[in-house]
Amino acid sequence: MNKDIQAINTMIQQESAFVEKLLSEIGKVIIGQKYMVERLLIALFSNGHALLEGVPGLAKTLAVRTLSAAIQTRFQRIQFTPDLLPADLIGTLVYDQKSGEFRTKKGPIFSNLILADEINRSPAKVQSALLEAMMERQVTIGENTFPMDDPFLILATQNPIEQEGTYPLPEAQVDRFMLKLVIGYPNKEEELKIMRLNAGEKLPQPDPVITPEDIKRARLAVSQVYIDEKIERYIIDIVFATRNPSEYKLEDLNELIAYGASPRASIYLSQASKAHAFLRGRGYVTPEDVRAIGLDVLRHRVIVTYEAEAEETTAEDVVRKVLNHIEVP
């Protein structure tokens, strides 16, 4: 192995040693849902945000709360409602009668882990305020600009049912989420464990495993994970196949894709693959990492045509087909 890469590999193995302990602590409270927990960590370590889609009752809030406790960060849950205002989210200027001056009252967004529950229940102006904070990592209230806390991770949830009276996120805004996770039901054994766990008086609490400082270090380590040019080209091929399917002998997708994935997809796919490799204690990215995270990075970035919708072909189907078609390096 190249000496530099060998050093990276060793460093990653050391830095990622806490991952197993962290997963174990979260696993005390969250039964199953390994997919969701792993991807929350990927978002956390690659400085992205995640959109969670799943029916109510799948422990989305509990997972974020538990993660927050395990990594010793502050957690805020904001329930998005139709009457929510941007000021309710980011804060506002309050007139102080004693001093006769306006005082800044920061909103709940000033926290480390934010759970934006049912983000599609609020109108576009509130969504925009949140998404702006996500990208800029700062919020301006009056004349003052305030940087967001670090780590700053937004986990927004969407309910796939009850779409009436909701404000679906525009494609441009959905694109800002690094990952879109589709949360499924637990299996029988997991559900049995969940049932037994919840039969007790109190849920177990996770022990703190890492600090925000450890997270910053882990992020630095993730950014140093080696990604070979062959893997980079593999990522580019996947993303380009969503834009020009016929170039990759995927002519049948031509009619189904209205817009392919943006360059953000390539960036996030690379970063998320590195984070996935980090979770596996590897200092280099393999096609396994790209394939493992590809669907979560791409499913909300490919816009399907009306014809595809009529055929009940989803963006996920399209991405799956692309991933299964492109040759691994």
Partner 1 sequence: MNQAKAPKIRKINKKIRVFPVTLTLFILSSSFSIFPLDLPEPQSSINISGIVDQTKIPLNRILTLKVTLSWIGDPGIFTILNFNDPVLTNLEITGTSTSSRTEAVDQGIRVIREYEYLLKPEGLGMAYIESVSVKVHNNRDETDEILQTRRIPVEVVEPVPEKEKKGNWILLFIILILTPASAIIILIYLRQKKNQQMSLSQEIQEPTEIHYLNELRNTCDPDNLDLQKDFPTLSQLLRRFLTEKFKIRAMEATTNELVAELRSTEMHENQIQSINEILSRTDEIKFSGTKGNREEFIRFYTLIEGMLETFLRKPEKKTQQSDKNQGEEIQ
Q: Which residues bind partner 1 (CB under 8 A)?
A: 1-2, 5, 9, 226, 228, 230-231, 283-288, 291, 324-329
Nearer to partner 1, 132 or 232 (CB): 232
How far apart (Å, rounded) are the C-alpha atoms in residues 266 and 225? Answer: 16
Q: 170 is written with which tokens? A: 């525009």
Nearer to partner 1, 131 or 326 (CB): 326
State the nearest-atom distance from the C-beta of 296 to partner 1, in Å. 16
Nearer to partner 1, 191 or 228 (CB): 228
Under DSSP, is residue 179 helix (H, G, I), strand (E, B) or coil? Answer: strand
State the nearest-atom distance from the C-beta of 39 to partner 1, in Å. 18
State the nearest-atom distance from the C-beta of 315 to partner 1, in Å. 20
State the nearest-atom distance from the C-beta of 13 to partner 1, in Å. 13
How far apart (Å, rounded) are the C-alpha atoms in residues 155 and 40? Answer: 8
Nearer to partner 1, 10 or 163 (CB): 10
State the nearest-atom distance from the C-beta of 324 to partner 1, in Å. 6
Specify which residues 239 forms β-bridges with.
none
Q: Are 46 and 222 in contact (CB under 8 A)?
A: yes
Nearer to partner 1, 103 or 230 (CB): 230
State the nearest-atom distance from the C-beta of 274 to partner 1, in Å. 12
Residue 10: alpha-carbon gap to chain centroid: 27
Nearer to partner 1, 164 or 327 (CB): 327
